[in-house]
Structure 1
Amino acid sequence: MITKIIALIIVTILASFATTPPISQASSSDIKKREGIYQYAFITYGPAFVPICLTLNTLIYAWIMISPDPYPFNGIDKLSEWTLVDIVSFALILLGGLLRIWCYRTLGRFFTFAVVIQHDHKLIKDPPYSLVRHPSYTAAIMVTAGLFGFYYPLGEAIFGEYGQTITVFVIATTSIMTVYFFAKRVQYEEREMAMKFKDEWEEYARSRYRFIPYMI
C-alpha cells in the first residue's frame, strides 16, 4: 500500500507539471484567432483542469485503499496491489513526464503551449528534438495513456457495476479529443515552422522519426 501511495503522489506531481505551461503564453484572443476555439479551450483550461482532476482521483484512490469502509464508494480489495497494467502505466507516466520536462529545458523560452513564433526564434535541433520530430507531443500522449491505465480501477470503485462501461466511454471520448487536438496542432505548427524556416525545416523534418506515422 505504501508504494502505491508514493506512486500516486509521483504521478500527480509529475503529470501536473507536464501539463502546466513552463512560461506565459499568448493572449486568449490571439489563440482563438490563430488556432480556433477548440485549441483555445484545450490550451487555456487544460493546465488548470488536469491537476485538479488528478488530485481528486489520487485522494479518492488513497481513501479507498486506507479506509476500512470508504462509503459511498465500492471497496476494491486488491486496489493497493500492483498489477502489470499499473506497472506499465506508471512507467509510461514516468518516462513521458521526464521527456516532457526535458523538452521544457531544451526549448527554454521558446516552449509555449500556444504556437508562437518569436521574432528571434530559431530551430532547435538538440536532443530530444534531434531524435523525435515532436517529442513533447509524444511525451504528452505517453502520460495520457499512462494515466488512463493507472486510474482505470477507480471506475468500478465509483460507479460499481457500471464502472467499466463508464470508464471505457470516458477513455474513448477523451482519447478521440486528445488525438484530434494533437493532429490539428501538429498540422498548424508544422505549417508555421515551414513558413518561418523554409528549407531548414524541410531538411530537419525529413530526417526526424515520427513516433506515430503521419502525426507526431
Structure 2
Amino acid sequence: MGWFTAFVLLVGLERVAELVVSKRHAAWAFARGGREYGAGHYPVMVVLHTSLLVGALLEVWLLDRPFLPALGWTMVVVVLLTQALRWWCIRTLGHFWNTRVIVVPGADLVTRGPYRLIPHPNYVAVVVEGVALPLVHTAWLTAVLFTVLNAALLTVRIRVEDAALGRRSVPA
C-alpha cells in the first residue's frame, strides 16, 4: 500500500504541475482579451478530481483492498498512458490549454495533434484515468463513484466548452 500511496501522490504532484501551467496560460489568455465560460462548475471539478485521489487512498487503506498484479500493473500502464495523452493535449494547445474554459477572441480552433482525431481528448484521459488509477489497487468503489459523478460533470463541461468555442453539435 505504501507504493500505491506514493504513486497517487505523484499523480497529485502532476495535477499541481497542471495547475501551475493552467494559471500561467490563464494569465496569457486574459491579457489577450480571453473570456471565461462556465466558472460555476469549476469548483465542483476541483473537488471531484481531488476526491478521486483521496478516495482511492482511503478506500485502499480503510477497506484493505488487495493488489492484484495482473490488474494492478495493467492499470499502472493505463494511468501512465493517460498522463502521456494529457501532456500531448497540453503541448498541442500550448497557451490555449487551461483547466478552465477560457476563449481568446479571434483564435482559431486547434485541429492538430490528438484534436484531429477527437474533439475532447483531454477528457478521454480524465475518464480513463478515473477508472484506472483506483483500480491499480482494486479501489473499485472510488472508480465507480468517480465515473458516475464525472459523467455528470463532463455533460455540463463539454456543453459549456462547445458553446464557448462555437461548436454546438460536436460528438462527445
> When the two structures are superposed, what TM-score results if normalisation uses the length of structure 2?
0.71
Percent identical among aligned pairs is 17
Look up the match of 2:156.
184
- Residue in 2 aligned with 1:23? 22
Within 5 Å, give how 1:116-135 maps onto structure 2.
116-135=102-121
Q: Structure 1 residues 106 and 10, CA, compared in 2 at 3 Å: closer, same or farther?
A: farther
Partner SS for 1:23: helix
Distance in 2 (alpha carbons) for counterparts of 1:187 and 1:53 = 28
Distance 1:171 1:120, change over 3 A: same
Task: Evaluate the alpha carbon distance shift between residue 46 and residue 105 of structure 1 in structure 2; reply closer, same or farther with a 3 A threshold.
Answer: farther
Q: Distance in 1 between matches of 2:131 and 2:88?
A: 19
Aligned length: 162
Give structure 1 stretches of 5+ with no counterpart: 65-72, 154-166, 196-200, 206-213
Aligned AA (2:38): E
The alignment status of 1:35 with 2:45, answered yes or no, reads no
Q: Distance in 2 between matches of 1:118 and 1:180?
A: 27
Query: Shift in Å at residue 93 of structure 1?
Result: 0.6
**Offset of 1:18 from its aligned partner?**
4.7
Partner Cα separation in structure 2 for residue 179 and residue 75 of structure 1: 27
Q: 1:50 to 1:17 in 2, by over 3 A?
A: farther
1:12–1:51 contact (8 Å) kept in structure 2: no
Aligned-residue Cα RMSD (Å) equals: 3.7
Deviations 1:158-179 (A, max 9, x none): xxxxxxxxx63x4433222101
Task: Select the structure with the greater relative contact order (CA < 8 A; seq sep ≥ 6).
Answer: 2
Give the whole-Å Cα distance in 2 for the aligned partners of 1:75 and 1:117: 45
Work out which of the two has the higher radius of gyration on C-alpha atoms and give 1 or 2: 1
